[in-house]
Structure 1
Amino acid sequence: MPVILKLATAALFTCLSLAAYGEKLRIVTEPWAPYVYEERGAMQGLDYDTTVIVFQRLGVDVEWQFLPWKRCLAMLDQGQADGALDIFHSHERDALLLYPSEPLSQVEFTLFYANERPHPAQSLEDLRGLTVGTSPGYLYGEPFSDSALFNREAAPSHEANFGKLMLGRIDLVITDRRVGQHVIKAMGLESKVSQAQVVVSRQPQFLAVRRGAGMDLLVQRFAAELRRFKQEPAYAALSAKYGGIQAISAAGDTVEQQESSAQ
């Protein structure tokens, strides 16, 4: 039997197995606009919409749940969730999770500061003695996480971090560039917050699932279908809808390079 047919058959059996028991794939994630978020009671975002379409094509029903990221990771560890949307690859998680070979998008972690207390950092050295607002459970890269030059202080949400920034309780906030722009606009802080030049790290983010029977084949099928979808006009339309978010292929090539300042 050809390899492709074997994969398709195995993935089909996995999907049928889920359906036979009346089960859905339980996926958890944290609001991470504009990649995944809720607005007027409806879940949306480039990575969310893309994942929904790919799973529909594979015939897999999904149950979604929004939670703080640290809780998402705990549910994966405890077997209370089957997978997580927009998770970074970590070798420490390889024993627990399977990652598709095709990422959903790429995160670019940058720093934001209050214009009244400017810290236009161009490198991590410029953060000496400062306090940076972080999010629990996020991986910012070893140079940032291991540095002893500055302090890190976690907050329960991105909005909370920017609130602390405006109150002068922290000196900077670290988050994805597009997420930061989205939060700043939502909070009406466009004239009060600026972005520093330093890019702390760039990391691809994935839809990852817990290891289990048939999951490795499901992940392979997900990657193949995701790769196909990224080449379609429908994906370009989604990217334009969410402000031209730049997505990457497994080879690191950009699929959509539109950019918008209206995020």
Structure 2
Amino acid sequence: MPALFKLLSAALFTCLSLAAYGETLRIVTEPWAPYVYDDKGTMRGLDYETTVMVFERLGVEVQWQFLPWKRCLAMIEQGHADGVLDIFHNHERDAQLLYPDEPLSTVEFVLFYANDRPHPASTLDDLAGLTVGTSPGYLYSDSFNDAPQFNREPAASHEANFGKLLLGRIDLAITDRRVGQHLIKNLALQGKVSQAPLVVNRQPQFLAVRRGAGMDLLVQRFAAELKRFKQEPAYTALSAKYAGVEAISAPQGTVEQQESGVK
């Protein structure tokens, strides 16, 4: 009984701590379909809906806000947000953020090219002299970020990068495999854009919260409930709702860079 009493007391302390923040947990994220996105005024996505379900079970109310990624990070740093959805674990932020043991999903950063200007890169060396469209605030891998043989050009959004790709303003665009496939479908780019075989990096992504009173317990409870939810039919159905959400194996002959990165 003492152990149960301590657990219940800790859970109550967490709820009181959240109340001190304004009775809601303020979470920021960037639209990152199919993980989290705004569908005509309705928030959807594998990681968003999973997070909503877990917090409902924990009895935690959440306020959501979509922002550009660099702004999301600034909101956390300035204390204007309590958590950020779909962030990579980076030890440089351990002093500021708490990460659950259980990730929400896994990202694979790959390259996309326009079919009328094909660049089916299999290694980073194949990018020599080319320009790759990137997103501000994303660190894809140490080897990709530091490679001197090609140029990196940021764009305001993933859609903007694909637009620049079609216009020939960049040679390739880098983004997550599922995100790229979702863009190709939604922008009707089938037959116009293809994926190169190179896998630049594979990273799990998390819901992270900034350090504060009761937040360490909240992270533990979130991880435990997330792990339980992933074993239920409801999560299987949610996964099936979004095409390609299962773990994807790298195609034969690809090169994987496993250095740590930060979204």
Q: TM-score, normalising length from structure 2? A: 0.90
100 and 2 in structure 1: CA distance in 2 versus 1, 3 angstrom threshold? farther
Report if aligned partners of 1:121, 1:196 keep a CA contact under 8 Å in 2.
yes
Task: Between 192-201 and 13-22, report the one with greater CA deviation.
Answer: 13-22
Q: CA deviation at 1:244?
A: 4.0
Q: How many residues align?
A: 248
Report if aligned partners of 2:107, 2:203 keep a CA contact under 8 Å in 1.
yes
Task: Between 160-169 and 21-30, report the one with greater CA deviation.
Answer: 21-30
Report if aligned partners of 1:104, 1:247 keep a CA contact under 8 Å in 2.
no
Q: Which whole-Å CA distance do the structure 2 matches of 1:53 and 1:63 have between them? A: 14
Q: CA deviation at 1:99?
A: 0.3
Deviant stretches of 4+, over 6 Å: none
Report if aligned partners of 1:7, 1:221 keep a CA contact under 8 Å in 2.
no
Paired residue for 1:245? 245
SS of match in other structure, 1:195: strand
Q: Which whole-Å CA distance do the structure 2 matches of 1:2 and 1:243 have between them? A: 46
5 and 127 in structure 1: CA distance in 2 versus 1, 3 angstrom threshold? farther
Gaps of at least 5 residues in structure 1 are: 249-263
Q: Which whole-Å CA distance do the structure 2 matches of 1:8 and 1:247 have between them? A: 36
1:165 matched to 2:132? The reply is: no
Q: CA deviation at 1:7?
A: 4.1
SS of match in other structure, 2:122: coil
1:94 matched to 2:94? The reply is: yes
90 and 8 in structure 1: CA distance in 2 versus 1, 3 angstrom threshold? farther
Q: CA deviation at 1:9?
A: 3.1
Gaps of at least 5 residues in structure 2 are: 249-263
1:118 matched to 2:123? The reply is: no
Q: Which whole-Å CA distance do the structure 2 matches of 1:212 and 1:223 have between them? A: 17
7 and 110 in structure 1: CA distance in 2 versus 1, 3 angstrom threshold? farther
Q: CA deviation at 1:8?
A: 4.6
SS of match in other structure, 1:246: coil
Report if aligned partners of 2:178, 2:244 keep a CA contact under 8 Å in 1.
no
Deviations 1:105-151 (A, max 9, x none): 00000000001110000011100111100001112111111111111
Q: Which whole-Å CA distance do the structure 2 matches of 1:30 and 1:6 have between them? A: 37
Q: CA deviation at 1:22?
A: 4.2
1:146 matched to 2:146? The reply is: yes
Q: Which whole-Å CA distance do the structure 2 matches of 1:4 and 1:208 have between them? A: 27
Alignment of 1:8-47 (within 5 A): 8-19=8-19, 22-47=22-47
* One-letter amino acid of the structure 2 residue matched with residue 177 of structure 1: R
SS of match in other structure, 2:132: strand
101 and 4 in structure 1: CA distance in 2 versus 1, 3 angstrom threshold? farther
* One-letter amino acid of the structure 2 residue matched with residue 182 of structure 1: H
Q: CA deviation at 1:21?
A: 6.5
143 and 20 in structure 1: CA distance in 2 versus 1, 3 angstrom threshold? closer
Paired residue for 2:233? 233
Q: Which whole-Å CA distance do the structure 2 matches of 1:142 and 1:6 have between them? A: 43
119 and 235 in structure 1: CA distance in 2 versus 1, 3 angstrom threshold? same
* One-letter amino acid of the structure 2 residue matched with residue 199 of structure 1: V
Q: Which whole-Å CA distance do the structure 2 matches of 1:211 and 1:20 have between them? A: 14
Q: TM-score, normalising length from structure 1? A: 0.90
Q: Which whole-Å CA distance do the structure 1 matches of 2:138 and 2:20 have between them? A: 36
Paired residue for 2:253? none
4 and 146 in structure 1: CA distance in 2 versus 1, 3 angstrom threshold? farther
1:186 matched to 2:186? The reply is: yes
Q: CA deviation at 1:91?
A: 1.1
SS of match in other structure, 2:133: strand
> Root-mean-square deviation (CA), in Å?
1.6
4 and 90 in structure 1: CA distance in 2 versus 1, 3 angstrom threshold? farther
Q: CA deviation at 1:3?
A: 5.4
Q: Which whole-Å CA distance do the structure 1 matches of 2:66 and 2:154 have between them? A: 19
Q: CA deviation at 1:19?
A: 3.4
Deviations 1:62-103 (A, max 9, x none): 000000001000101111100100000111111110000000
Report if aligned partners of 2:17, 2:214 keep a CA contact under 8 Å in 1.
no
Q: Which whole-Å CA distance do the structure 1 matches of 2:217 and 2:199 have between them? A: 35
SS of match in other structure, 1:81: coil
213 and 200 in structure 1: CA distance in 2 versus 1, 3 angstrom threshold? same
Identity %: 78
* One-letter amino acid of the structure 2 residue matched with residue 15 of structure 1: C
SS of match in other structure, 1:31: coil
